[in-house]
Amino acid sequence: GKREGRGTFRFFEQKMDEELKERVTLEIALRHAIQSGEIRPHYQPLVALPSHKLLGFEVLARWYHPQRGIISPDIFIPLAEDSGMITELCYGLLRQACADARSWPGDLGLSINISPYQFKDRLLAARILSILRETGFDARRLEIEITESALTNDIEVARATLGVLQSAGVSIALDDFGTGYSSLYHLRELKFDKIKIDRSFVQSLENQESAKIISAIIGLGQSLGILTTAEGIESTTNSEWLAARGCTYGQGFLFGPPVPASGAAKLIENTAPT
């Protein structure tokens, strides 16, 4: 009856209240975390195929929460985007990553994810270049990874931003390729240096359709003069299959998971030519 309904409503109200409180608590904690350096870059190796030669690292953010332990970016990146903190978070990570990468051999690159929200800022390119100048990190060693959703707002602004970065020597990778709605449109309208094939395709390679789609993406890249990275490679079988089809770069647990700066340094040391 009516009374029961009201009880249920109150229950939901209470639950929403708790969720809201939890969200606000996390948001306050995140603001503090960004300012106090609890968000740190981890680094995942990017390799050449078929040689498996180390070429650089993708920066993947981790939140070292003093009570909760390491929090995944899938939780705090959306929160940072919704609360307008993503820009500050990203620039902090970029600064830290450039500082870490300064002690790496000069041929190793750094790849960083830029959120769609950051594309609303017309000064995005200028800010990135100014961090490069400030840290003394060579623009030609930096790649930025963007997803299609970054491009949907205003293609002219995106074109201008990417153009400024590319003329300075920064490479642009189209991330999670194959999962968006208008990938081909974006490939026609904008100039990319690299396509990153989404790991959902790579991880379902035993599926005939996935395999054909991957082959087609690699071929598409080749005919447009765009290099391809396959994400989420976990087995030698997959790595060999991809290399045989002309995929030039690989990333995945087979080559190494994301690790802190000390882990990246160790990996570099162990792969250095003797």
By CB under 6 A, name the binding residues for ligand C2E. 44, 59-61, 72-74, 77, 90, 93, 113, 115, 145, 175-176, 199, 231-234, 251-253, 258
- Binding mask 82-121 vs Ca ion (x if CB under 5 A, - otherwise)? -------------------------------x--------
> Does 143 help bind Ca ion (rule: CB under 5 A)?
no
- Contact at 8 Å (CB) between 256 and 44? yes
Residue of this chain nearest to ligand C2E (CB atom): 252
Residue 253's binding partner out of Ca ion, ligand C2E, none, with CB under 5 to 8 Å set by partner kind: ligand C2E
In degrees, rounded to 5, the angle at the alpha carbon of residue 233 between the alpha carbons of residues 228 and 235 is 135
Minimum CB separation of residue 100 from ligand C2E in Å reads 14
In DSSP terms, 45 is beta-bridged to 57
Minimum CB separation of residue 175 from Ca ion in Å reads 4
- Contact at 8 Å (CB) between 61 and 258? no
Which position has the token pair 């200028």?
A: 126
> Does 145 help bind Ca ion (rule: CB under 5 A)?
yes
Minimum CB separation of residue 7 from ligand C2E in Å reads 40
What six digits make up the tokens of 224? 């447009």
Select 29 or 145, whichever has its Cβ closest to Ca ion. 145
- Binding mask 171-210 vs Ca ion (x if CB under 5 A, - otherwise)? ----xx----------------------------------
Per-residue CA distances from 115 to 52, 121, 146, 225 (Å): 29, 11, 7, 25
Minimum CB separation of residue 5 from Ca ion in Å reads 41
Select 29 or 109, whichever has its Cβ closest to Ca ion. 109
Q: Which 3 state secondary structure label does DSSP give 182?
A: coil
Select 221 or 252, whichever has its Cβ closest to ligand C2E. 252
Going by their DSSP bridges, the two strands 54-65 and 39-48 should be labelled as: antiparallel
Other C-beta atoms within 10 Å of 105: how many?
Answer: 11
How deeply is 144 buried, as exposed, middle or buried, from its count of CB atoms within 10 A (0-12, 13-18, 19+)? buried
Select 226 or 254, whichever has its Cβ closest to ligand C2E. 254
d(CA 123, CA 272) in angstroms, rounded, equals 38
What six digits make up the tokens of 70? 């390491």
In DSSP terms, 145 is beta-bridged to 113, 173
Select 74 or 156, whichever has its Cβ closest to Ca ion. 74
Residue ranges that bind Ca ion, judged by CB under 5 A: 113, 145, 175-176
